[in-house]
Structure 1
Amino acid sequence: MTSVRPANQDFSREAIEAVLKRRFFYGPAFDIYGGVSGLYDYGPPGCALQANIVETWRKHFVLEEDMQEVDTTMLTPYEVLKTSGHVDKFSDYMCRDLATGEIFRADHLVEEVLESRLKGNLEARGQAVTPVEEDDQKKKRKKKVKEIKAVKLEDDVVDEYETILAKIDGYSGEELGEIIEKYSIVNPTTGGPLAPPVAFNLMFETAIGPSGQLKGYLRPETAQGQFLNFSKLLECNNLKMPFASASIGKSFRNEISPRSGLLRVREFLMAEIEHFVDPNNKNHPRFKTVQDLKLKFLPKDVQAAGKTDISEITIGEAVASGMVDNETLGYFLGRIYLFLLKIGVNPERLRFRQHMANEMAHYAADCWDAELHSSYGWIECVGCADRSAYDLSVHAARTKEKLVVRETLEEPIVVEAFEVELDKKKFGPKFRKDAPKIENFFVTRNQCELEDLAASLAKDLKVTVKVDGVEGDVEVEGSLVSIEKKTRKEHVREYTPNVIEPSFGIGRILYCVLEHNFWTRPEDAARGVLSFPPLVAPSKVLVVPLSNNEQFEPITQELIIDLRALGVPSKVDDSSVSIGKRYSRNDEMGTPFGVTIDFQTVKDGSITLRERDSTQQVRGSKAEIIAAIQKMIKGVSWEEGTKGLAAFVGQEQD
């Protein structure tokens, strides 16, 4: 479609929020009870938009990549999330006002205050300040915030602030506490002092069953269900590697201070992929299809230097240079980019930010976020990480189930590996009831751990270890255990796959698509337009009878039946307001096409087709118009789709 959106039109969040509220794309849940922060309901157009984005995602990834889709339970036992690390590490840092008890998320507070001070510095120097839209929570605090006053800052202080803001995603709780103390950051509303940041686990805890003894959580992600079903999924794929699984479903996070509408909520839809790959071969057979795509990269070394300079290079160049770790990771960055463009993301407002070393999990080889720019700033919407073999390894160790691939070798290979031999006859009398736990400790160690234990045994003729379920240190003498590197021939290679994980926050993507496609008519700022691609628009066609004349009704109903039979979502607006107003309110809904039925239709069966963005109109037979609509929904341009149809002027009166 040809968009005629005005260049450089100032964006108004107030204007789009008015449209989204009026057309009920989404709204606060439990609104008539006062609402609950971080919970939202989707209305009819929001539901349809979300469903279309999800369906496009499913076709783009699950269908085109031949993935194994699963739907796993949202209730997760404690042991699963303890093993995965979520119980201990799935936290954000919060700080509390010592006087009022008000709670802030520490990194957001630091970001908010330092940005306010930088703005005040520009104002004090008489420099222009770019207007920044703010959410209601931030506006309320800034009514009383002292930091926003026009105060000049020394150049070195400005540099320090900008460096901190560039690295804000990578600070630990201790580092955030040091920043808060060093720069005298207090409660912006009251000026009250804050307690040091503490970790707050974001998972919703629950009990499974009436006894309350089986502790569980609402899942914070969909990934764990895919890892636990790895062996079954491998079987579904006829034991062939590599392969990918996918899951779409709700996840839950008990956010410290939900804000920014759909961008930070407590219940949200995720779409996640787990691509299982041989750790010795992370090339991708379809890498050539994306290698020439040019993306905007923000590498970790640039951020570590306190800068935000973008490198705009091809995916092939990024992988060849080592900036992106491997072909499979690069392939998915390209596929993510193409998906986001397909659903209406503005490519000029899309970048890929690499996780810095201090924010990346210890086991991850590389991680990139697809960030979309909105009136709230740059928002992480898709994460794409090489998680190595961590997830399958920890679940295998905990459950004693082998989550591995067994590959028959054409030629046997000679391998060297540490092996453990225990004198079980002596273990029982020595350790009594703890003997099985201690034996299990040794046989479940990985090669790195066995190497360390072997070195300790050789040096001290004993090893001292800590074993879960056994009180105190356990000392095992060399007469009870032998750990030696041995050579053997293997006819079957057994390995734990690595995982490349693209993870999509559907709500965040949906909101950014709304912002990226909203504009107002230059001749009337009250007339908003949502220029969704036809592929994801909630409804594709608005059918508008010229009037309530009874001759139009059978034609209208026949057209609607024909469109819906072809799977084209369509609606009728036969209200008494003018055609112009009927089209205008559906422009706010993002409906790309409008069909007018008039008295000429009664005479010769011809109808008028209108395009949302340009308001251009053409006329043709019903069959010709329906064929044109079908082509354009599949991505053909307005010019190409309506080729051969006569231009039409009129019928757009307010």
Structure 2
Amino acid sequence: MADFTTRTGEILDRSAIESTLRRRLFYTPSFEIYGGERGLFDYGPPGCALQANVVDLWRKHFVLEEDMLEVDCTMLTPEAVLKTSGHVDKFADWMCKDPKSGEIFRADHLVEGVLEDRLKADKTARGQTVEVDEAKDAKKKKKSKEAKVEKLDDALVQEYEETLAKIDNFGGDELGELIKKYNIKGPTTGAELDPPKAFNLMFQTQIGPSADKPNGYLRPETAQGQFLNFQKLLEFNQQSMPFASASIGKSFRNEISPRSGLLRVREFLMAEIEHFVDPEGGKKHHRFDDVKDTKLSLLNRKTQLAGSTKPDTVTIGEAVSTGLVDNETLGYFLVRIQEFLLKLGTEHSKLRFRQHMANEMAHYAADCWDAELFTTYGWIECVGCADRSAYDLTVHMNKTGSPLVVRETRAKPLVIEEYQIDLERKKLGPKFRKDAKAVEAAVDTLSQDLREKLSLELEKKGKIEVDTPGVGSGKTELEKDLIKIEKRKRTEHTREYTPNVIEPSFGIGRILYSVMEHVFWTREGDGARGVLSFPPTVAPTKVLLVPLSSHQDFKPFIKKLTSRLRRIGVSNKVDDSSASIGKRYARNDELGTPFGITIDFQTVKDNSLTLRERDSTKQVRASEDDIINAVKSLVDGEETWADVAKRLPAFEGQDLETST
């Protein structure tokens, strides 16, 4: 795995950024004074503000721009719903147990981690540079240094790399074979591991006091609530298709072995879209032409199965026309996802879309691409974009009988010629008694091709034989006095169909952490000064107000500026501590605050202010009104710092960055 480098070219020390994020209270382990609980985290003030700003931008980018219908559904879900959707039987990962220590591991992650460690050790033996993970246990590091590191055979290196490229495509049996083949043991005991077993990731719960056993789950996704409300949403949308619903809320997954901080947790915020589309006509999208020339980095399943992780850069128009991406609507949302992630500050070179392999595909998906962001943990899935076909609406409709369908008047009546069946039900009942309904149901499901064949047979022999599972021998003979099969014409004035669904699903916590790594760097010449270069739109605090000193003359200006900025919706913070201005700016650079306003004695004289930009540390000076207007346009994304620096005078006065 390649090293993660910051925008300044330095290799990012994960322990440094995670230490900064925890120290500045972006997030912290939950229940820490009780020893903590793996996979659960609390967000502090800057983390909450960052999350709120990301969600706000998500709403504007998707819900507002795409005219979506937002819903907020319950997190508690009856078992029957998730049984029907397939989650009770299929929503699982493979785990294996160390029988000696009792430790549980997620099988694919264990294999992945061991092979990656062996490849890193091989690089060390060959004298190549490898990333050092400072967060690992010191004793373990010391032992690894003392151990003799041997080079791997070139063929084995290639085999490891190909296995890692295909790791997401392996099932339980295959993972078990890899564990044996590569002699992977319990990490702490060296014991033989038990064979991988499926572990359902949902949290079971009891709904209501009268239930004598668990009868529900905490939802693993927000999607099911949207599907169950489809008919009401269609009616709210005046029966107009296509349309999209959206939902933002907590979901829960009982991870086997949570790791990687915010990247793999048991409770997390999701933002999901269900775009309902007519399956006829190739799932076109009316705005696809607007994005067709946008280039994406696509890692398709064929490349992965060949043992490579090198993506292709192609336009989405080309990807859809060649069938690499299944349809226009799926392709359109891949572009919109990329645009959103780039708005948050992610680096384009650290973003790719990876296609799910067949064995990896969720039980409901017809095709799926993950937006992955490169971090110090490797490539991390942050957004999934799946074509769920008509799976969910169909299974819920079949289970409940509710008509989760679209009915529309045809512009031109459709004349259909087909084979229709008439049954003599008065004779059918007495003859087959309790099996009559089963026979009738079997006849109703006969295909047009089979009906044509049986009509000829009925005319020739006077009787036919129909497959009737569960009735007698499994076949039932029907004579012509019981059944009639004729080719007839019928006219359809309305069309009824079950929509297909394209679903972009966003893991907000994973996006937050990946963005924080992407925007983190240390200022040249002072490695201790970390900077989080959040775009102004999502930065937790937009402006730092810095009085030159605690002089009484500055206080009225601070009060007025605070009030004016709040009125225009710009979050701000005052730092009037005794530290130097340089130090005050430095600690707020760590919080990602993009702008600083300095109030000095010149302000008292002429009401002018200095505006400082975080990344360049450049400053301009202008009147209070000009500075307030500039801040507003910068925060709203209407101007860049380069635009502001062109029209407002540069400030070349005292070097306020100097720490004293």
Task: Please indicate, yes or no, whether the TM-score normalized by the shorter chain is above 0.5.
Answer: yes
Matching residue of 1:198: 197
Provide the rounded CA distance (Å) in 2 between the counterparts of 1:147 and 1:481: 84
Matching residue of 1:220: 220
Matching residue of 2:292: 291
Equivalent residues in 2 for 1:606-621 (5 A)? 606-621=608-623
Contact 1:133–1:376, Cα closer than 8 Å, also in 2: no
Matching residue of 1:48: 49
Instruction: Report deviation, 1:447.
Output: 6.4
Contact 2:442–2:467, Cα closer than 8 Å, also in 1: no
Asked if residue 70 in structure 1 is aligned to residue 74 in structure 2, the reply is: no
Instruction: Report deviation, 1:576.
Output: 1.5
Matching residue of 1:244: 244
Contact 2:439–2:468, Cα closer than 8 Å, also in 1: no
User: Match of 2:15, SS?
Assistant: helix
Asked if residue 230 in structure 1 is aligned to residue 235 in structure 2, the reply is: no
Equivalent residues in 2 for 1:103-118 (5 A)? 103-118=104-119
Matching residue of 1:643: 646
**Structure 1 range deviating more: 243-252 or 187-196:** 187-196
Contact 2:416–2:491, Cα closer than 8 Å, also in 1: yes
Asked if residue 368 in structure 1 is aligned to residue 366 in structure 2, the reply is: no
Matching residue of 2:12: 11
Q: Specify whether residues 557 and 108 from structure 1 end up closer, same or farther in structure 2 by C-alpha distance, changes over 3 A only.
A: same
Provide the rounded CA distance (Å) in 1 between the counterparts of 2:218 and 2:588: 38
Provide the rounded CA distance (Å) in 1 between the counterparts of 2:473 and 2:57: 55
Provide the rounded CA distance (Å) in 1 between the counterparts of 2:484 and 2:193: 55
Contact 2:419–2:486, Cα closer than 8 Å, also in 1: yes
Q: Specify whether residues 178 and 628 from structure 1 end up closer, same or farther in structure 2 by C-alpha distance, changes over 3 A only.
A: same
Q: Specify whether residues 290 and 323 from structure 1 end up closer, same or farther in structure 2 by C-alpha distance, changes over 3 A only.
A: same
Matching residue of 2:305: 304
Instruction: Report deviation, 1:421.
Output: 6.0
Q: When the two structures are superposed, what TM-score results if normalisation uses the length of structure 1?
A: 0.92
User: Match of 1:507, SS?
Assistant: helix
Instruction: Report deviation, 1:358.
Output: 2.0
Provide the rounded CA distance (Å) in 1 between the counterparts of 2:375 and 2:446: 45
1:121 counterpart letter in structure 2: D
Matching residue of 1:506: 508
Provide the rounded CA distance (Å) in 2 between the counterparts of 1:452 and 1:123: 71
Instruction: Report deviation, 1:515.
Output: 0.2
Instruction: Report deviation, 1:6.
Output: 5.9
Contact 1:146–1:188, Cα closer than 8 Å, also in 2: no
Matching residue of 1:491: 493
Asked if residue 523 in structure 1 is aligned to residue 557 in structure 2, the reply is: no
Instruction: Report deviation, 1:415.
Output: 3.4
Provide the rounded CA distance (Å) in 2 between the counterparts of 1:386 and 1:620: 53
User: Match of 1:553, SS?
Assistant: helix
User: Match of 1:511, SS?
Assistant: helix
1:652 counterpart letter in structure 2: E
Provide the rounded CA distance (Å) in 2 between the counterparts of 1:267 and 1:449: 51
The C-alpha deviation readout for 1:195-220, integer Å capped at 9, x for no partner, is 11010000000111001257100000
Matching residue of 1:259: 259
User: Match of 1:647, SS?
Assistant: coil
Q: When the two structures are superposed, what TM-score results if normalisation uses the length of structure 2?
A: 0.91
Contact 2:364–2:392, Cα closer than 8 Å, also in 1: no
Aligned pair partner of 2:603 in 575, 598, 601? 601
Instruction: Report deviation, 1:463.
Output: 2.4
**Structure 1 range deviating more: 142-151 or 482-491:** 142-151
2:565 counterpart letter in structure 1: L
The C-alpha deviation readout for 1:305-333, integer Å capped at 9, x for no partner, is 11112101111111111111111111000
Contact 1:537–1:590, Cα closer than 8 Å, also in 2: yes
User: Match of 1:152, SS?
Assistant: coil
Instruction: Report deviation, 1:133.
Output: 3.6
Asked if residue 326 in structure 1 is aligned to residue 331 in structure 2, the reply is: no
Q: Specify whether residues 17 and 442 from structure 1 end up closer, same or farther in structure 2 by C-alpha distance, changes over 3 A only.
A: same
User: Match of 2:130, SS?
Assistant: coil
Contact 1:60–1:339, Cα closer than 8 Å, also in 2: yes
Q: Specify whether residues 45 and 283 from structure 1 end up closer, same or farther in structure 2 by C-alpha distance, changes over 3 A only.
A: same
**Structure 1 range deviating more: 209-218 or 518-527:** 209-218
Instruction: Report deviation, 1:634.
Output: 2.1
Contact 2:202–2:252, Cα closer than 8 Å, also in 1: yes
Instruction: Report deviation, 1:39.
Output: 0.4
Aligned pair partner of 1:652 in 621, 640, 657? 657
User: Match of 1:312, SS?
Assistant: strand
Equivalent residues in 2 for 1:450-465 (5 A)? 461-465=465-469
Matching residue of 1:537: 539
Matching residue of 2:3: none
1:543 counterpart letter in structure 2: L
Instruction: Report deviation, 1:123.
Output: 3.0
Q: Specify whether residues 362 and 267 from structure 1 end up closer, same or farther in structure 2 by C-alpha distance, changes over 3 A only.
A: closer
Matching residue of 2:570: 568
Provide the rounded CA distance (Å) in 2 between the counterparts of 1:554 and 1:153: 70
Provide the rounded CA distance (Å) in 2 between the counterparts of 1:267 and 1:416: 54
Q: Specify whether residues 337 and 421 from structure 1 end up closer, same or farther in structure 2 by C-alpha distance, changes over 3 A only.
A: farther
Matching residue of 1:582: 584
Instruction: Report deviation, 1:73.
Output: 0.6
Instruction: Report deviation, 1:427.
Output: 6.9
User: Match of 1:524, SS?
Assistant: coil
2:149 counterpart letter in structure 1: A
Instruction: Report deviation, 1:393.
Output: 0.6
Instruction: Report deviation, 1:367.
Output: 1.1
Matching residue of 1:155: 154
Provide the rounded CA distance (Å) in 1 between the counterparts of 2:569 and 2:34: 38
Matching residue of 1:81: 82
Provide the rounded CA distance (Å) in 1 between the counterparts of 2:97 and 2:488: 56
Contact 2:418–2:448, Cα closer than 8 Å, also in 1: no
User: Match of 2:597, SS?
Assistant: strand
Asked if residue 176 in structure 1 is aligned to residue 175 in structure 2, the reply is: yes
* Structure 2 residue ranges without an equivalent (≥5): 1-5
Contact 1:120–1:147, Cα closer than 8 Å, also in 2: no
The C-alpha deviation readout for 1:140-199, integer Å capped at 9, x for no partner, is 877778999623332322222111100011111111111112222111221100111010
Instruction: Report deviation, 1:130.
Output: 2.2
Provide the rounded CA distance (Å) in 2 between the counterparts of 1:643 and 1:102: 61
Provide the rounded CA distance (Å) in 2 between the counterparts of 1:578 and 1:418: 88
Contact 1:98–1:194, Cα closer than 8 Å, also in 2: yes
**Structure 1 range deviating more: 352-361 or 304-313:** 352-361
Aligned-CA RMSD value: 3.0
Contact 1:518–1:531, Cα closer than 8 Å, also in 2: yes
Contact 1:418–1:447, Cα closer than 8 Å, also in 2: no
Instruction: Report deviation, 1:526.
Output: 1.1
Contact 1:607–1:620, Cα closer than 8 Å, also in 2: yes
Provide the rounded CA distance (Å) in 2 between the counterparts of 1:148 and 1:197: 30
Q: Specify whether residues 267 and 426 from structure 1 end up closer, same or farther in structure 2 by C-alpha distance, changes over 3 A only.
A: farther
Number of corresponding residues: 642
Provide the rounded CA distance (Å) in 1 between the counterparts of 2:635 and 2:473: 68
Contact 1:344–1:532, Cα closer than 8 Å, also in 2: yes
Q: Specify whether residues 91 and 387 from structure 1 end up closer, same or farther in structure 2 by C-alpha distance, changes over 3 A only.
A: same
The C-alpha deviation readout for 1:42-86, integer Å capped at 9, x for no partner, is 000000000000000000000000001100110001111011100
**Structure 1 range deviating more: 171-180 or 414-423:** 414-423
Q: Specify whether residues 249 and 94 from structure 1 end up closer, same or farther in structure 2 by C-alpha distance, changes over 3 A only.
A: same
Identity of aligned residues (%): 64
Provide the rounded CA distance (Å) in 1 between the counterparts of 2:330 and 2:530: 39
Provide the rounded CA distance (Å) in 2 between the counterparts of 1:445 and 1:313: 44
Provide the rounded CA distance (Å) in 1 between the counterparts of 2:147 and 2:83: 43
Q: Specify whether residues 177 and 143 from structure 1 end up closer, same or farther in structure 2 by C-alpha distance, changes over 3 A only.
A: farther
User: Match of 1:130, SS?
Assistant: coil
Contact 2:468–2:475, Cα closer than 8 Å, also in 1: yes
Q: Specify whether residues 323 and 461 from structure 1 end up closer, same or farther in structure 2 by C-alpha distance, changes over 3 A only.
A: same
Q: Specify whether residues 39 and 356 from structure 1 end up closer, same or farther in structure 2 by C-alpha distance, changes over 3 A only.
A: same
Provide the rounded CA distance (Å) in 2 between the counterparts of 1:44 and 1:443: 65
Contact 1:117–1:148, Cα closer than 8 Å, also in 2: no
**Structure 1 range deviating more: 638-647 or 95-104:** 638-647
2:252 counterpart letter in structure 1: F
Contact 2:15–2:135, Cα closer than 8 Å, also in 1: no
Contact 1:141–1:188, Cα closer than 8 Å, also in 2: no
Instruction: Report deviation, 1:626.
Output: 0.6
Contact 2:371–2:382, Cα closer than 8 Å, also in 1: yes
2:646 counterpart letter in structure 1: K
